[in-house]
Every structure is written in C-alpha cells, then in structure tokens.
A and B are shown apart, each in its own frame.
Chain A
Amino acid sequence: MKRPLHRKIGFVVIILIIIIPMIFPFLWMFLSSFKTQVDIISWPPKFIFSPTLINFNKVFNEQNFLLYLKNSTIVGVLSVGFSLLLGLPAAYSIARFSQKRLSVLILVARLMPGISFLMPWYIVFSRLGLMDSYTALVLSHILIALPVVVWIMSSYFEGVPREMEESAMVDGATMQRAFVSIILPLSVPGIVTSTTLSFIFSWNNFMFSQVLSMEKTRTLPIAVYNFMSYAEVDWGGVMAAAVAIMTPAIILTMIFQKYVVKGLTMGAVKG
C-alpha cells in the first residue's frame, strides 16, 4: 500500500500524540527506578543521570521480593487453574442451555464490592486455621477469576457452531467427550484470553490479599507498600517494585495479545 509522504508523516504524528501521554507515566516510572532519591526529587526533572541499581537491590535483596513473586504466581496460577476447571464446563452449559439466570448470578458475585466478602471469609478462614495459607488466598481469588472465565467463555461457546458437536455425537461421542475433544480445542483463543485476563486481575488484586495474607503469603501488590512507611516514601523503591511487578504481566500480555483481541471479539458476531 503506497501512501503519499505527507500522509505517512501525519499518521506517525497522530500516533505519537496518542501514545505519548499513555507511555509517559511508564517511562517516568522506569527511569525513576534507576535514580537515587535525590535525582527523583530534583527539579527540573533529570532525563540524563547516572543510573543506579540501588533500588532493585532493595527490592530483591532487602525486601524478599522473590518470595512475594512466588506467592503471587502460586495464587494466580492455582486460582486461574481452578477457575478454568470449574468455569469452562459452566460456561459451556450456560451457552448451550441458555441458563441466563445462572450467568447473571455469577456476574452479581463479581459486581458486589469485594470488601463485603472479607469479613465472613476472615471468620471462616481463621476458624479453620487457614490464615496465612495459600488455600485461603486461592479460594478468594477464584471469586475474581471465575466470573471472568465464565463470562468470556460463555459468549465464546455461543459462537461455536452447534453442528460441530452434533456431528461428533452422531459419530457416537457423548456430550462430555464432544466438549473435551471438539469444543475445547476450537476455543483455545478464548481460553487464552480469559486465562490472561483473570490471571492479571488476580496478580493485581490488593484487597483480598491485604486481609487474608500475612508475612509468609504476602503478594506483590501488598509488598509495594513496604516502601511506604510512616512519614516517609521511598519513591525509588516503589518505582523499582512497580517495574518488577509489571514486567511479568506485560510479557504475558504481549505474548498472548493477538489471542486476547480475537477472543474478546469472537462472541460479538455470531457466525
């Protein structure tokens, strides 16, 4: 496709105008994570400075971030895993048998303010001796991940032609077999989408982890606050921690982004 030069330039300029305000905070965060406290507060801001790794050293050596990284990963993977295990069949059933009320019910669980769950959970988990355990966190994070899975996947399954499984059943497969062998492989883009999104929601969740986790199971979003103490904020540490937290999420999104877009639009136009 050939375009005249001035239109190309115009296109680039417009893209830059849109992108710069979005990129700028990230750039600022990224640069600040390599600055000393003095450089961070200096005015006018310094864009050329001698970079330091002191902040990352604090994040990974003084603050035990690897433990928090491990905790977030365990909680994220397990809660998304269980959500897929429960959510995929549920979504399929909702799509096939038009169980609208059920799907609304699941959505309501997501719409309710999270804090209303916390008190009952705290009571239950502390009576069961599950405080500071992955079980409590995983169970609570399923509440975040499951509705995402069900909602994305039920509209996705509706888009899969019914003839596909009918022909499988004509060949003697049970409905379950058709679901596992025909529908699921066809729905990989949707599954990837819902997995990515629900993982990120779990990764970023603050409120549940704050109350239900303790020192051993503390997750990353809580740990950022380790750099904020009474009457003192270690901005360099906060920035470095934010970079460390965002990097896995960004990489994950970049790898799967083509699926995400496809998965989100798939249910929109039913073929």
Chain B
Amino acid sequence: MLSAESLAKIDRELAKYPADQARSAVMGALRIALTERREKGATPEERCLNSEVIEFVANYIGIAPVAAYEVATFYNMYDMKPVGKHKITVCTNLPCALRGGMNAAEYIGKKLGIHLGETTADGKFTLLEGECMGACGDAPVLLVNNHSMCSFMTPEAIDKKLAELE
C-alpha cells in the first residue's frame, strides 16, 4: 500500500514515542501516507486518503482503524476528498479578508474556472478556503499542498505562482 521509504519514515515517527503509546504517531503516519499519495497519485481520487489507506496505516502502527479515522477526519489538512495535483488553500479569515484574501480566492477561481472547494476538470488544481495561517501581516496568504506558504498574493504574484505550478 505504501512505499518502503514511507514505511521507513513512519518507523521513524513510531520511534519517537514509547512502544505502548504508538497511537501518538498516528498524525505523522497519516501525513506521510498522504504525502506519498499526493506525489504518486495519477488521479484526484488517488491523491487523497481513503478508508483502505487509513486502515493500513492504523494496522501498521497498531491502533484501531476507527481511531485513525477520527484523526484523519478531525484535521482538515488530511485530504479525505479527491484533490488536484496542486491544492491551493487561500486564507479568508478576517485579517486576510480585510487585505484582499477573498479577492485573491476569487481571482484564482476565475483564472482556473472553478469555485472554492472545486477541482479543475484536468485534475490539476483544487481551490480551498483555509483558516488563519499565522501570517496576517503578509496577507493575502495561500498554502500550496499543505507545505509551501506564499505571502503577498496580489494578482500578479498569483499569475506567477500558477505559471510555476503549471
């Protein structure tokens, strides 16, 4: 289900906690599983977590599948729905909204031809509304694929970023 590299990374997560508290490693393990799927998945369905992957991860670290499912569905960075190759999460909380966060989201949506929460037909981009990323001074901010945060996303900066991602 997962590659040897990912399993080695999960083993590293497991090693951080006492053997009888392996469930502490569930967040790291799910993140590693999701990262692998996003990088290797060919379709939006293959880029997100599903019950098979969650069950596999749970069994691997030795916890009940439903316990891993609780975690995966609690945190919104674990993609439980099909997701494009590039997941763009735009902050629309108050400070960002005051400084053009909503406009940035609308601009991206218009450019890609999708609404918030949708994926482009070619499966390349998914546009999501996000919560505060702790960089209000850099507003508008957006997050690409959970990991890379982009600041001061004016229309020009957005054009540049989208061109990079193409």
Q: Does B bind A?
A: no
Q: Which residues of A contact B (CB under 8 A)?
A: none
Point out residues on B near A: beta carbons under 8 Å.
Answer: none
